[in-house]
A and B are shown apart, each in its own frame.
Chain A
Amino acid sequence: MADEFSYVNLPPEQLVDLEASQLQASAIFAPASGLYVSQPNLISNPTPVPGGSAIEVSGTGLEEMADASYPLPIRREEFRLDVDGRNPQMTASGTISGSMASRIHWIAKLIASGPSKWTGWIWYKDGAVASFPYTSVQIQATRSSIPDQRMVTAIFSGGGAPNRVRRLRFKSPYFHSVNFEFDSAEGENPTLSVNSHAHPNHPASLPSENLTIQKVFQRAGFYVTTSPGGTVPVSGAGPNARWSDQEMHDAMQVYWSRFANKSQWALWVFFASLHEMGTGLGGIMFDDIGPNHRQGTAIFNDSFVATAPAGDANPAAWVQRMIFWTACHEMGHSFNLAHSWQKSLGTPWIPLADEPEARSFMNYPYGVSGGQTAFFADFQYRFTDSELLFMRHAPERFVQMGNADWFDHHGFEEANASPEPSLKLELRANRNVNLFEFMEPATLELKLTNTSSQPCMVGENVLSDCDSMTVIIKKDGKPARQLLPYVRHCVLPKKRVLGPGVSIYDSLFISAGRNGWDLAEPGKYTIQVALHQEGEDIVSNPLSLRVAPPRGYEEELLAQDFYSDDVGRIIALDGSYFLEKGNDVLQKVIERLADRRVALHARVALGRVLMQDYKQLVAEAVDGRKSVAVRLRSAQLDTAKQHFSAALYDKPEEAAVSLGHIDYKWYMDRISDCVAQQGDVEYATRMQQQLYQVMSGRRVNGRGIPEGVLQRIKERREGYGHPAAMSEPTRAGAWMFEEGVEATTLH
């Protein structure tokens, strides 16, 4: 952190703006929100061990080194608690800093679980996430009227790791610090404040006050300092006296006292007469120039923002408010905030919904229904909750000026994203309309294509290795969650070549993971995936899908048992002999919801278990003494076949849609191979014949199944007559589905 901003160092003007509650003398009412920090810890190994204990070094003098560029394996932890004060987001987030390579950032959504206690699920992780497996956090705050005595204790749990307990001390009621410098072109005045009631059109509930720009950003959670402003000669704008972006960038380098070619929590704000675009440009975050974006922003005093609508009740107040609003808007862009109607564009840090009617600094007042009159009648001089969440809790490099590039790299791991990626990742559902039935488990398809003209190396399991993939699931109106998949494979990191134009495919089960059912409630969801590959991040398209509401009481009732960890695991892992409670639920689903797609998934999961012999460890009492025995449970092939016939054979189109093409084929292959080995070649051949028919007829948004895949189905079917030719199927067949340039035209 560039600036020290401990509570004790706050200058008087910052104290004045703190919420009244934040200055309460009573410890009970003392606020808990703010930034907490750990004492730096020395770890014995630069690679953190999950749940591993750290050696305390407080008092050894090593603390000071934590602010350097971490040349030693010293870990420092920041913790942001956002539960009270102005516009609380009921969120905690943290950054654990070691080296750049081992930095971890996490975000949790909180609910109160007692006085000064909160429980949260961790829905977002970034950085070295493999060393931070936790899925939930419990927080206890120690409130005090004396800031130095405020503490939080955070217990991280879940993810199969032992609990991780941290005590952190209060540092500041703000989440980050930032410095502003307001300079003006010769002859221009900066507008740095507004009287909130000066214009008669304002919300009735809006307090009357003299609001400054600094106060707006303090309320957004920032400790704001201001560098002295100065004047910029208008000669910098050239003979036409109108500023181009490059001219302003040049002026910024000369006249901004803090200019540096690096990322820092500091921003130059420039008030001038006009941009070279003319009166139509009210202001611009001009700095998408050079390697460090978003450091400078400008407001044009003589542009359209200085013209009140005809007949306005107080034109002078209207103009001052509009210029003030414009300044905060442009500064918002410097924090990497997009326009309210552009939130879903590009690669947002989490999938975001557009907010075209938002009463935010980031929305155009004249763009909402009812125009600027309607906008200002409801405008509370604030950013929206999703904007505040981003500014307060997103990884620092997304927000900090001069760090992540403006907008285009406004997302996952953009520090590593290549400007010209050679790989393209597509995320899709194998259905024409992305609608899922209530309780229908959702499996999507990933397609990775080498779009370059050169062969490239990719991990052999790049599309199934959960550690090299981030999956974000965002339900409309709710915060995004990160899918934490149940472990499917443990594989050696082998590489293989992906030729130019070649694609590989795999399926991705997204409904449930280690932090519960992410896709359950009816409503609209947006899903996005990032692959972390060779130090580069490949981000997929955001995919929108909808979960339909339940059809009736029976579904609602069964859903209560269905959305359990047991059932999530059984579906994700293709069945389990041991999760008996979950199997009972699936049996009920088959009986009571026979015509629903969820029954098809239930049958596949139960059928898969019955297909093979199972060894099971059981505790037994023998002669009054406990012992452990291995029991063999034999396969029940006939029952398994019944399940598969009902799930896959009777309604094959339905199965291909609901399971997804890849998994549908995989199940069909496994079952037909299994029955062929048992000698029922006729049944196996029939299954492959049907698989061929279904797959060759499939068209999703005009695309069919690649010819190579159909050819391999034929080969498998013919192979059943010649057992020696049979091959072991591979899961999802990332490479089995490999297609060259000519085949991609089909798919």
Chain B
Amino acid sequence: MPLLHVAFQEGFEADTVAVYIDGNEAFRKDNVKTRLQIGYADSFENFLPEGSRTVNIVVPEKNLSQTVQLQLTAATYLGVSIEQCNINCKISDQPFGYV
């Protein structure tokens, strides 16, 4: 089962964040806040069955939601940022590094 790592990066301002994977809540946390000196707020990871996975990220207080369709075959790193009132995602096969 491949790893899915989801990192909350830029633009979080003490927000409540929820993530649903294939409709099931996989993560929910209040007060998710970007530490600007490293551009990182929080993260979680799960091992998931291979195949098509639907990841839905919701920031209710900002009325933002974003859905990403992933073909999970190997370890996948999903970086989530709020930029100009949008949730933007980037996908990598390498872990993220922060400084």
Give CA–CA (A284, B98) in the complex, Å.
Answer: 8
Total contacts A to B, CB within 8 angstroms? 48
Closest to A407 in B: B36
- A residues contacting B by CB (< 8 A) are 277, 279-285, 288, 303-305, 326, 329-330, 333, 338-339, 341-342, 345-346, 364, 366, 406-407
Closest to A334 in B: B37
Q: Can you list 21 residue pairs at the A/B interface with Cβ under 8 Å?
A: A277-B98, A279-B95, A280-B97, A281-B40, A281-B97, A283-B99, A284-B38, A284-B98, A304-B95, A305-B97, A338-B36, A341-B10, A342-B36, A345-B36, A346-B36, A364-B39, A364-B99, A366-B97, A406-B36, A406-B37, A407-B37
Instruction: Check A281 against B37 for contact (C-beta < 8 Å).
Output: no
Is B96 interfacial (CB 8 A cutoff)?
yes
Interface residues in B60-99 (C-beta closer than 8 Å to A): 95-99
B contacts with A, residue count (CB < 8 A): 12
Instruction: Check A342 against B39 for contact (C-beta < 8 Å).
Output: yes
Instruction: Check B99 against A281 for contact (C-beta < 8 Å).
Output: yes
Question: A residues within 8 A CB of B99?
Answer: 281-284, 305, 326, 329-330, 364
Give CA–CA (A330, B35) in the complex, Å.
Answer: 13
Smallest CB separation, B16 vs chain A (Å): 20
Given contacts A280-B96, A281-B98, A284-B38, 19 further A-B contacts (CB under 8 A): A279-B95, A280-B97, A281-B97, A282-B97, A282-B99, A283-B99, A284-B37, A284-B98, A285-B37, A304-B97, A305-B99, A326-B99, A329-B99, A330-B99, A333-B37, A341-B10, A364-B99, A406-B36, A406-B37
Q: Which 6 pairs of residues, A with B, have the shortest CB-CB distance?
A: A304-B97, A282-B99, A285-B37, A407-B36, A283-B99, A333-B37
Give CA–CA (A318, B77) in the complex, Å.
Answer: 24
Give CA–CA (A344, B38) in the complex, Å.
Answer: 16
Question: B residues within 8 A CB of A284?
Answer: 37-38, 98-99
Give the residue among A304, A338, A341 with the most B Cβ atoms within 10 A.
Answer: A304
Instruction: Check A303 against B39 for contact (C-beta < 8 Å).
Output: no
Question: B residues within 8 A CB of A285?
Answer: 37
Closest to B5 in A: A280
Interface flags, B10-45, vs A, CB<8A=1, else 0: 100000000000000000000000011111100000
Interface flags, B34-59, vs A, CB<8A=1, else 0: 01111110000000000000000000
Give CA–CA (A364, B10) in the complex, Å.
Answer: 14
Instruction: Check A280 against B98 for contact (C-beta < 8 Å).
Output: yes
Give the residue among B35, B36, B40 with the most A Cβ atoms within 10 A.
Answer: B36
Give CA–CA (A304, B36) in the complex, Å.
Answer: 19
Smallest CB separation, A338 vs chain B (Å): 7
Question: A residues within 8 A CB of B98?
Answer: 277, 280-282, 284
Give the residue among A284, A305, A338 with the most B Cβ atoms within 10 A.
Answer: A284
Smallest CB separation, A333 vs chain B (Å): 5
Contact of B10 among A279, A305, A329, A342 (CB under 8 A): A342
Give the residue among B39, B95, B97, B98 with the most A Cβ atoms within 10 A.
Answer: B97
Give CA–CA (A700, B35) in the complex, Å.
Answer: 34
Give CA–CA (A345, B38) in the complex, Å.
Answer: 14
Question: B residues within 8 A CB of A346?
Answer: 36
Give CA–CA (A434, B38) in the complex, Å.
Answer: 33
Give the residue among B35, B36, B95, B99 with the most A Cβ atoms within 10 A.
Answer: B99
Give CA–CA (A696, B64) in the complex, Å.
Answer: 31
